Every structure is written in structure tokens, then in C-alpha cells.
Amino acid sequence: MKVNFTNHPLIQHKISIMRDVNTGSKDFRELVSEVAMLMCYEVTRDLQLQSVEIETPITKTTVKMMPSCKMAVVPILRAGLGMVEGIVKLIPSIKIGHIGLYRDPQTLKPVEYYCKLPADIADREVLLVDPMLATGGSAAAAIKFLKDRGVKKIKSVHIIAAPEGVQVLNLQHPDVDVYCAALDEKLNEHGYIVPGLGDAGDRIFGTK
Ligand code: PRP
Ligand code: URA
């Protein structure tokens, strides 16, 4: 199984609070955003910088800076939306696309209902974000969407993953780097991650 862990102690602590059934929507939403921001730090570790001449108050010097941003963050609606703010805080010029998918509760297969991506998405590195990677069906479908539109570099970023979901992505999209902050035990008979944190979308938006 090929997966990158972002297991900083602060991330682990925040996920533990998210897992707690007594954590309400306001705190849950803030924690999703904070964890996404901390994960973004690790996920962008391979970012290529360019040398730029600047002048400090003391002297001229050459420094390293990000070239004009060629990245996009694409949340899988709804729950992925919760991860966008934290990433945009770190990379303010990143473009944002949206892919709307929901998982049919009977078949557990993803159903598409929306897609709006930056016009030049094919030229951008994409951070696909969704807090939960369960069967992997939603992320695999979203990745296919992006590839069909010419995207060549994709990182699939999830807060909690099930081994089943990681395996599906490794198998169907071996070229995509998968990131997660926690790799849980398994899926239950309803396709929920165990121990997991329940339905991330409902907990972010307070819909249950
Ligand atoms: C959840 C979650 C993922 C998907 C993961 O979305 O946010 O998108 O399920 O499951 P999978 O790996 O088995 O496809 P959900 O369908 O509950 O929609 P929501 O975000 O609108 O709540
Ligand atoms: N989607 C969620 O929000 N939680 C799970 O455990 C599985 C899919």
C-alpha cells in the first residue's frame, strides 16, 4: 500500500478531538480547516522554488520564492469544502475548482452532480481534497474526472483513510500520490470508516 502519512502530533491531537462524538459542528469545522492547513505544509514539501534577486535593508541578495502559483485545490463536495480554507490561507493565489459527488447509500457508488474547474486546470498541479477516503469510489471517480480534463499531476489528500480506499486508489491511479493523516482499521457494513468520525459532511454542516 502506497500512502504518505502526515502524522505530526498537532494533527493527531486535533483528529482525536474530531473523532469524539461530543465535538459539535463549530469545533469540528474549525478542526477540519486547521488539520487541512497543517497537512498542506507536508503535502507541498516538494514544491519547486525559484531564485529571485531582492534587496534587503542591508544589501542585494538572492532568495528562494514560489513561482507564480500553478496549483489548484479541488474539494469533493460537500465535505471537501471544509478543507479549502486552511489550504487557501497558506497558498492564497491557489485556484479553486469543485467536483460534486455523493455516495449512494445503497450501492456505495459515487453519483456526480456538479463540476466546475479553472479553465486552465490541465496546466495545474491539483490537490484533490476530501476528509474521508472510505471505499475510494468518490476519490477514484474525481481523479478520473480530472485526468479526462488533462490534469497530469494530482495529489489526493484525506484526513482519515481506510485501507480499502487507499488500495483502490493505488490500483486505479498508481500515478497519484495519496496523503492521509490517519489510516484506520476497516470499513463497516455500511461503508463507514471504523473507528472513523462518522459522516464528515453532516458534522461539518450540522445536517444531522
Ligand atoms: C463522503 C465523503 C467522501 C465519500 C467517501 O461524502 O466526504 O466524499 O463519502 O466515501 P467513498 O470513499 O466510499 O466514496 P458523502 O457521499 O457522504 O457526501 P457529503 O460530503 O455531501 O456528505
Ligand atoms: N463518508 C464519511 O463521511 N464517513 C465515512 O466514514 C465514510 C464515508
pLDDT in tens, 163-184: 999 999 999 999 999 999 999 9
Active site residue 103: yes
* 56 or 68, greater pLDDT: 56
Q: What is the rounded distance in angstroms from the CA atom of residue 6 to the CA atom of residue 23?
A: 22
Q: What is the rounded distance in angstroms from the CA atom of residue 176 to the CA atom of residue 174?
A: 6
pTM for the model: 0.96
CB of 196 closer than 6 A to ligand 2? yes
Is 160 within 8 Å of 187 (Cβ atoms)? no
Give the model confidence (pLDDT) of 1-43 as tens digits: 899 999 899 999 999 999 999 999 999 999 999 999 999 999 9
Given the C-alpha cell 461539518, which residue does it identify?
204
Burial class of 17 by CB neighbour count within 10 A (0 to 12, 13 to 18, 19+):
middle
Residue 202 is predicted with a pLDDT of 97
Active site residue 44: no
Residues of the chain above pLDDT 70, percent: 100
